[in-house]
Amino acid sequence: MRSIELFTGAGGLALGLERAGFETIALFERDADACATLKHNRPAWNIRRSDVCEVDFSSLGPVDLVAGGPPCQPFSMGGKARGHQDHRDMFPQAVRAVRELRPAAFMFENVRGLLRDAFANYVEFIRLQLTYPDFPVSDNVDWDANLRRLQRHHSSTRSLSELSYKVTINLADAADYGVPQRRHRVFFVGFRRDIDSGWSFPSPTHDRSLLLRSQRVTGNYWREHGIAPQAASQGGHAKSQAWQTAELPLGLNRWRTVRDALCDLPDPRIGRRFHDHVFQPGARAYPGHTGSPLDEPSKALKAGDHGVPGGENMMRFPDESVRYFTLREAARIQTFPDDYRFISSWSESMRQLGNAVPVELARVVAQSIAARLRPIPSSKSHAKA
């Protein structure tokens, strides 16, 4: 199955697509440092450093999937949240890629902030554009006027030959899918209407209550890490009758923690140092920025304009001391493989990691899409009327 990816960044989504069985024939990224990371790790990938606004996507087809993460700053909780008024809003280019390539499916991801009430109408505008990518959006009126035009089109009788997609908007917490991090992402997933996909967003594979039970009741979590079960008291947890008798979900694994992800790495302050795993001084906690507890999934890694925002991307030990994650530790929290190297400065590499899609979350979603596309050969790509 063939795919292209827009706004590739450090390659988290690309690695997930690779693991799901997609052959990504072109990856587009304009940032030079991110391109250097991609080329260093996957020299065989067709990485194109370019502005997607200038790309003729129709020359790349046919493809089965168009994927990407349009820049999240216009919608991020930590940004100015200007949405459609932000020149970095690249959803129109994502729609154009779908229109020109007419893939069997697409997958675009973004931040949870996109689902805030303030953006509700604009999200509906995005959804309807992705549903009807051939619909002529006018440059002579505001986006909300175009939204009303699309809504009228959606409620009218439409041609059966019209290119259209069945689009769903899905919110996922990466911790529910085996990522040792509380990272909420929104996925726009669409299947072309001539494909009877029967797709739904993947069900969670991991569960918080199972982690809490293993820590507070059975003590198995502590034994797994060679720590006496009574060490649970370090986190202020006490066994309770409620936890002992609670009905637990079947067929799921417990959430993974920072300790789970990093337990076999040496302490960079005293142990053997190696590339990507070097102690970075200067971490300090202050109100609202207290680091990620060692025995919980990490807080979401963040990316500032120039690397790490103050007080973020730190681990917090049981004695309340903190230190910054090394690059290798941050990469593990984002489920990048250990042989995937980050070759830029610490701050630039942390920026790339803070913007990345967790590889495992990308794989889970992409694999669920691939399972519905495998019977659909590329040669059946929707022909233009």
Quote the mean pLDDT of the chain. Answer: 87
pLDDT in tens, 196-221: 778 999 999 999 999 999 999 999 99
- More confident of the two residues 88 and 367: 367
72 classed as catalytic: yes
More reliable by pLDDT, 41 or 139? 41
Higher pLDDT, 148 or 380: 148
What mean pLDDT do residues 163-178 have? 97
Greater confidence (254 vs 286) lies with 254
Q: Is the pLDDT of residue 185 over 70?
A: yes
CA distance 103 to 207: 34
- Could you give the residue range(s) of every CATH 3.90.120 domain in the chain? 207-345
Q: What is the mean pLDDT of residues 153-157?
A: 87
Split at pLDDT 50, 70, 90, the class of 143 is confident
Q: What does the pLDDT average to over 172-187? A: 97
- pLDDT tens track for 43-75: 999 999 999 999 999 999 899 999 999 875 545
> In which band, very low, low, confident or very high, does the pLDDT at 88 lie, cut at 50, 70 and 90?
low
Q: Which residues of 365-380 are buried (b: 16+ CB within 10 A; e: fewer)?
A: bbbbbbebbeebeeee
**pLDDT over 90 percentage in the chain:** 69
Q: What is the pLDDT of residue 20?
A: 98
Active-site option among 35, 53, 72, 263? 72
Q: Which CATH class is domain 2-204+358-380?
A: alpha beta
Mean pLDDT within 154-168: 85
- Indicate if the pLDDT at residue 344 is higher than 50: yes
> What is the pLDDT at residue 76?
46
Instruction: Quickly name the fold that domain 207-345 has.
Output: DNA Methylase; Chain A, domain 2 (3.90.120)
In the chain, ranges of CATH 3.40.50.150 domains: 2-204+358-380
Q: What is the pLDDT of residue 212?
A: 94
Residue 110: its pLDDT value, please? Answer: 92
What confidence score (pLDDT) does residue 240 get?
52
pLDDT reported for residue 380: 45
pLDDT band at 129 (very low <50, low <70, confident <90, very high): very high
pLDDT, residue 374, reads 79
Confidence of residue 82 (pLDDT cuts 50, 70, 90): very low
pLDDT per position as a tens digit, 234-285: 444 444 555 565 677 889 999 999 999 999 999 999 877 778 999 999 898 8
| Amino acid 81: pLDDT | 38
